[in-house]
Amino acid sequence: QPFVAGITGGIGSGKSTAAKIFEELGIPVYNSDTRAKTIQNENSEVKVKIIAAFGEEAYHENGLNKPFISKQVFQNNEKLKLLNSIVHPAVFQDFEDWKKAQKSNIVMKEAAILIESGSYKDCDVVISVVVDVETRIARTIKRDGLSREEILARINNQISDEERIAKSDFIIDNNGDLAHLKNEVEQTFIKIKKMI
């Protein structure tokens, strides 16, 4: 079984950018958010359960009816728990299958909700990418064109950096430029390699 490094961070923190740098250093990266989307769109067992829980409206021709589902779970925390109880075990299993197929002695699991989902507990080390809120807002505005208010609402919906840091073995500071991030990733990789 390979060593599992989990990587997380809030909206606009740069966890995907950091994970990409780890990938360039040779670590296979599993993107939980992308895989979860694919699973909801394509895994027939998951689809059956989501339809049973939310009704036929949960899907349209193009797959999951995201606006419908988002509205349901945003208004009702029990529905969010229900959706998570369908999707999280499927992603967990998908990661296990993916992991077994990797040849590397270390793999990385990237997830926005690594801490919230509890899946950090299955990681040998947890890495959090941390950036000042104002920089995250500026980078996310540039990337997504969302408004400051929309981004703040998302930040307030996620756990805080303090909570993330408390559960992390390594912190990657991404307040600097990309060269700085690359250096942070390389330094972290050196430390992790000693643990494998």
Helix, coil or strand: residue 27:
coil
Task: Give the bridge partners for 94, in sequence order.
Answer: none
* Distance of alpha carbon 108 from alpha carbon 7, whole angstroms: 7
Tell me the number of residues near ligand ATP by CB under 6 A: 16
> Please, what is the minimum distance in Å from the beta carbon of residue 140 to ligand ATP?
6
16 binds ligand ATP per the rule CB under 6 A: yes
**Which residue from 143, 148, 191, 193 is in contact with ligand ATP, where contact means CB under 6 A?**
143
Choices 5-13, 57-65, 87-95, 96-104; region in contact with ligand ATP by CB under 6 A: 5-13
Give yes or no for residue 177 binding ligand ATP (CB under 6 A): yes
x-marked contacts with ligand ATP along 93-112 as a string, rule CB under 6 A: -------------------x
**Which one among 4, 5, 7, 11 touches ligand ATP, defined by CB under 6 A?**
11
What is the DSSP code (8-state) at residue 112?
T
Report helix, strand or coil for 29.
Answer: strand
Please choose, from the candidates 33, 22, 2, the residue with its C-alpha nearest in 3D space to the C-alpha of residue 170.
Answer: 22
17 lies in the site for ligand ATP, by CB under 6 A: yes
Minimum distance, C-beta of residue 7 to ligand ATP, in the bound complex (Å): 9
CB closer to ligand ATP, 59 vs 158: 158
107 vs 100: CA distance, rounded Å: 10
Where b means 16+ CB within 10 Å and e means fewer, 37-58 reads eebbeebeebbebbeeebeeeb
Which residues bind to ligand ATP, rule: CB under 6 A? 9, 11-17, 112, 139, 143, 174, 176-178, 181
